[in-house]
Chains A and B, each alone.
Chain A
Amino acid sequence: MSIKSRIDRVDLRPFRFWFQLLAFVFLVYGGHLAVDLGNSLPTFSCGYNSQGTAGVCYLLPLQHQLAQPWERLFSPAGMAVLGGFGLFILWFVVLNKAWCGYICPLGTIQDWITGLRKRIGIPYSNYSDDHFNKLKVIKYFLLLALIFIPLAIGGQFISHDWGVPFCKICPARMIIPAFNGDFSQWTIDFSSNTKMVLTALGMFIVGLFLVGSFVKKRFFCFFCPMSAFHFIFSKLSILKLKKDGSKCTVCGDCYRVCDMQIKPIADDVKSVDILKDDCILCLKCVAACPEEGALKVDVLGKTIFEATRGGFSKRMGMEKNDD
């Protein structure tokens, strides 16, 4: 059997589980071994996890940099912002949104919570079509807010209490340091009204995150501004999720296993580049597709993982047993 067909027959679940676990340990504890991947990671490797983190989520330095006084931001010194951004793009183009499905520590935690729910055998929930379409715009608003609020600080329109506004409400700030025993973020900051509201909101969102991801797979990713940010640049990536609509029977197998409820993965038979903004590139859809070559993953135009009937049947336990 060729290497290609071996890969196409791989059981994605354990592979993803171990990959995510390793990535989690590396990013959350790597700092103890003096690993430092810099400040431009396109994933929620939280900077507040100062003891353990092996690299910092780009949204933290981005919000800091954008909050510089305008005379500095719009001067040659402000060019440093572009440097950080360039590095972010470089990291991103390698893996595209697979940063979400395979590396993001916050995503991994949600998958663990899902695993717990599965173990108990409680059904998951989904949004209705209508709610889905309404809620999906929230991540773009959050992205706009985390860019424009710091800019407004730098322009001295609002106070510094609004600094790093997204981090204040991001569940990673409290949850990820906790894995290093650091609970210092689990507080409400009463030093000003703004900070109090933001950190209280953050506390509330942590609760929502824990409950939400128990009920709904990848609950938080749906609102994640990093996901929105990724999508803007996803066409640049060397990793692509592709669909051959002519081979698709619109059976919906991909859609029904999709943690992010992306319907066009099944219904869109025209697009070739099928990556949608909510996608986390977990590749469960490719693994759940029974039609040869209908869905596939390409790196620099070369297919590395493809839907096959054989792979599908193996994963579903439908193969002929050899008795």
Chain B
Amino acid sequence: MTIETEQREIEDSQQKHIRHQGMEAMQVLDVIEKDFSDNPEAMQYFYDLFRDVYCNGIKPHPGKEMIGTMCVQVPDEIIHAAGGIPVRMCNGFYTDEEAGGEFMPAKSCSLVKASLGMLKSKTNPYSEGIKTIVNPTTCDQKKKSAGMMREMGYKIYDMELPPVKESEIGREYWRRSVRLFTKEVGKITGKKVTRKGLKETIRKIGRAQNAYHRLNEARKLTPLPFLGKDMFVVTNAFFFDDLERWTLATEKLADEIDKRVENKYNTAGKRSPRIVFTGSPPVFPNLKVPLMIEQSDAVIVADETCSSNRLLNDMVSVDEWFMYDMVDAVADRYLKSCTCPIFTMNDDRIRRLIELVRSSNADGVIYQAFAGCGVYEMEQRSVAKAMEKEGIPMLYIETDYSPSQGGQLSTRIEAFVESLKARSRRK
């Protein structure tokens, strides 16, 4: 009698990392896709995209050089015009956060740690194609982590962003940064940014934004035609997907949603509270909190985050279609209306939140802050105060990427949702 033993290859740490990553992505995608019954058909493109890239090892933009961007302020228009492909380096994997833990103090932002871990372990689907990373000087953790990326061997382009956005000095400072970037990015990609090229990409991104806005307007409606988790999936895909393909897929989705609106299709429960989501950005696969909200019979009808609304909301307006005006117009888009908490004042963010609550008929706000994300933690106080003044209930959640927190978090969210329901009954 012979005993057959199955021969298993012992995987190395990188393979293990990739396997864990795939499992993590798969788990979340299964929830997004299968735990909800009325997904729009056109969402399949986006579900498949994430499955391909994160579970099936299909690389986006094969053979092409991509340019990593650290934050929402890096002008995509200009990178595209130089023939580059911008890919956001903000990462949501717990597997990567663990790998990135060695770089940062214990109490620091999960997102920053995860991005570092991703770049260090070179396991992400883009690692082969990325040599240069553009680092706008936003929060301290991002700024310092760029230095560490430099040590890892990446070329870092520091793009100077002012800490004050209201002043003319700040505006001019940022315009100079963007003008310089327009010149330098051509050296990175080997293709100069031309008038024609920039005009074209401004319009292409404008068209993408229009598709986003169609969805964003539709979800303000009652009955609600689609869920907030799908919106996050769509906008997260914008981080790395091919611009034109993304636009077409989003337009197709918007067409389907328009039909749902016509037919008064409702994805929300009878008394589901309507939520505006704000704070630290949900980045795939860390859609934990949005998913918990929508699994607790609430619906997300608007958001104010840099992985969604802030990424696509504001559009470029050009007066004279020449380089001198287009570049400045692009610069303005990324500074003036940016509601990022790294700026000294947060009035615009508060105004945006109130407007979103009003225009989308929301019942409350859920504010997520990653533990260690100083700027969002600090702004919590003023936002909470402003919401109280407006009579808008708000739940503040401190969270990170670890999967262990689940039970306690969902209890808090459920309690908040119940309180909103009770509140609307009283009305």
Contacts and interface: CB of A to CB of B under 8 A. Distances in A.
A182 interface: no
- Of the listed residues A256, A269, A289, the one surrounded by the most CB atoms of chain B closer than 10 A to its CB is A256
Q: How large is the interface on B (under 10, 10 to 19, 20 to 34, 35 or more residues)?
A: 35 or more
Interface in B338-385: 348, 351-352, 354-355, 358
A253 B315 contact: yes
A251 B333 contact: yes
Given A123-B325, A249-B352, A256-B317, A318 B207 contact: yes
Given A251-B337, A318-B207, A290 B166 contact: no
Contacts of A247: 355
Interface in B260-319: 313-319
Contacts of A129: 168
A128 interface: yes
A31 interface: no
A320 B328 contact: no
A90 B251 CA distance: 50
A310 to B, nearest CB: 9
A288 B317 contact: yes
A122 to B, nearest CB: 9
Nearest to A285: B317
Contact of A251 (B213, B314, B318, B351): B314
Interface residues of A, number: 33
Given A129-B168, A256-B329, A246 B351 contact: yes
A282 to B, nearest CB: 11
Contacts of B211: 320
B210 interface: yes
B103 interface: no
B356 to A, nearest CB: 10
B337 A256 contact: no
Interface string A127-139: 0110000000000
- Of the listed residues B202, B319, B328, the one surrounded by the most CB atoms of chain A closer than 10 A to its CB is B319
B203 A128 contact: no
A251 B168 contact: no
Interface in B165-196: 166, 168, 171
A249 B322 contact: no
A290 B337 CA distance: 12
Contacts of B336: 250-252, 266
Nearest to B208: A318
Interface in A239-261: 245-247, 249-254, 256-257
B314 A256 contact: no
Contacts of A313: 206-207, 210, 315
B210 A257 contact: no
A318 B206 contact: yes
B337 A316 contact: no
Contacts of B315: 251, 253, 290, 312-313, 316, 318
Contacts of A317: 203, 206
B251 A252 contact: no
Contacts of B316: 253, 316
Q: Which 8 residue pairs are nearest across A and B when measured between Cβ atoms? A: A318-B206, A251-B337, A253-B317, A252-B336, A123-B324, A257-B319, A249-B337, A129-B168
12 contacts: A118-B320, A245-B351, A246-B351, A247-B355, A254-B317, A257-B319, A267-B166, A289-B317, A309-B210, A318-B206, A318-B210, A319-B207
Given A251-B336, A320-B207, 12 more contacts: A246-B354, A251-B314, A252-B332, A253-B316, A288-B317, A289-B317, A313-B210, A316-B206, A316-B317, A318-B207, A318-B209, A319-B210
